[in-house]
Structure 1
Amino acid sequence: MNCLTARAVVYPVALATLKLDVFCSIKFTAITHHLVSVTMGSSNRTLIFATIFLNLLLHFPSEAEARGLKSPAKCPKLLSQVCKTSQNYAFCVRVLMSNPLTLLAPNTKGIVVNALDIVRKESMKTSKFFDGLANGKGTVPAFKPALKECASDFKKASGLMNLKVLEGDFATMDVNYALDDARSCETKLSMDEVNIKSIPAAIKNWKNFYAVANAAALTLENLQN
């Protein structure tokens, strides 16, 4: 069975499984059982078959997606090219594979673009985390200036996770500026003796994502040479 094969048991009035081997199995059993309970004993089979057709139509990939999914084995190899220089290979692969767009990337550069976008979003998430602490009612007032600066630092870091910003031969250097922003935040937190338990884990998590961006930037440099 290829990756676009769908199996449907449509008689007697039961749709068991629509199976897309590339991503996962999508089950419509519950929907079908509901239809059976409503229409069993009636002559309204047209409604059932129309519903089955609609489910198939909505859940099949488009033609463009199908072309990209015909060779899913190609994607892990491309991922390996990007993640092999990461400090945490397993984390890099897991993060990139969590985004369906990675599987649709036509080449290594496409995965690099997707990797940078993932880290950009994580940087904004971290910025909002600090912004939330800075504006929290229960936050110690003396901590707030440093927290606000951290929110600004990670917002700046997010702006660097963009292919248009990165220059080919200096991509890793440009991405390193984002790490400088994170270190600036850590320095401010230390100077103001900010003690909030959730902060170290948040920064550590961001650094894991940063390592993905750094690997992507290094890959971009190699593509230019």
Structure 2
Amino acid sequence: MGFSITPLIIPQAIFTAIIMLQFPLLMNARQLSMSSSSIAMAPAFAPAPSPAAAATNLIEEVCRKSNIDVTKCIETLQSIPDAASAYDDIQALAELVMQAAKEESKALGTMFSAIQSSKDANPKLKPSLQLCAFDYSDAAIFFTPRGLGDVTKSLEVHSALDDSQNCDSELAKIRNAGVVDDSISAAIQKWRDLYAVANGVILYAEDAFKGRAVDDQGDDDYSPDY
């Protein structure tokens, strides 16, 4: 004896009611899925750098653009007091570097003056030592923030290097006399490193001010009638 299964026939009205009841649930599930995907795909925004990090970035950027050893440049800049306070401000940083170079020049001038004034100093060596004292005291004059951004500022500061090289010529005359020891050589090298960094920062500042001048000119729409 065989059995036959009669298919269940759902009236159209009931079927439609079931679909309508389930539709809001399906839509809520889809919206939740899309919302989760949007959160997962949303871009992550990095926090703004701290002032100290911004200062480090500026120092690295300056050193990359300067024609000096990058490692030595970074070490020299970071050794300058308050350099970290000049974050994102090339003019403030340049002024700090100029002041540091000025103080180092004065210190070298004082050092050579003290050596030549010593009672143990050989009278034959005093003229060269006096000239070195004068050269580095004179070099300090050129490290001033006045005229920063002017295209002639780097030429002005280069005069300080001329003074240092004049002293080198004098020291070469008395080098065999044993006056120029390792401490003097180290002090002069420290000055040279600081000069190189100062000159590099000044060149960078000049480029920055040139860019601002170009932007200002570009914003000026005035054209005279002739």
Give the structure-2-normalised TM-score.
0.63
Find the counterpart in structure 1 of residue 131 from structure 2: 149
Residues 108, 187 of structure 2: 8 Å contact kept: yes
Larger RCO (CA within 8 A; separation ≥ 6): 2
1:165 positional shift:
5.3
Does the Cα contact within 8 Å between 1:112 and 1:219 map onto a contact in 2?
no
- 8 Å CA contact 2:63, 2:74 repeated in 1: yes
Alpha-carbon distance, 1:131 to partner: 0.9
Give yes or no for the alignment of 1:217 onto 2:207: no
What stretches of structure 1 of length at least 5 have no aligned partner? 1-68
2:185 counterpart residue number: 200
Q: In 1, Cα distance between the equivalents of 2:59 and 2:208?
A: 14
Q: Does 1:81 align with 2:61?
A: yes
Q: What letter matches 2:117 in structure 1?
A: N
Matches within 5 A, 1:34-113: 70-84=50-64, 85-106=66-87, 107-113=89-95
Deviations 1:156-213 (A, max 9, x none): 1111111115561122211111110011111122345554224333322211111111
State the alpha-carbon separation in 2 of the partners of residues 165 and 109 from structure 1.
11
Relative to structure 1, is the Cα distance of residues 174 and 73 closer, same or farther in structure 2, using a 3 angstrom cutoff? Answer: same
Corresponding pairs, count: 157
| Residue 215 (structure 2) aligns with | none
Cα distance in 2 for partners of 1:101, 1:173 equals 26
Question: Match for 1:91: what amino acid?
Answer: K
Q: Note the alpha carbon deviations across 1:73-114, whole angstroms, 9 max, x for none.
A: 111111123222152322222222223411111411111111
Letter in 1 for 2:171: L
| Native 8 Å contact 1:167 1:174 kept in 2 | no
Structure 2 unaligned segments of length 5 or more: list them: 1-48, 211-226
1:131 pairs with 2:116: no
Q: Which residue does the alignment assign to 1:21?
A: none
CA deviations 1:18-72 (Å, max 9, x no partner) are: xxxxxxxxxxxxxxxxxxxxxxxxxxxxxxxxxxxxxxxxxxxxxxxxxxx9532
Provide the rounded CA distance (Å) in 1 between the counterparts of 2:115 and 2:189.
Answer: 17
From the CA coordinates, give the structure whose radius of gyration is larger. 2
Larger proportion of helix: 2
Judge conservation of contact 2:161–2:195 (CA < 8 Å) in 1: yes
Q: Tell me if the contact between 2:149 and 2:205 (Cα under 8 Å) persists in the aligned partners.
A: no
Counterpart amino acid of residue 214 in structure 1: N
Distance 1:177 1:134 in 2: 24
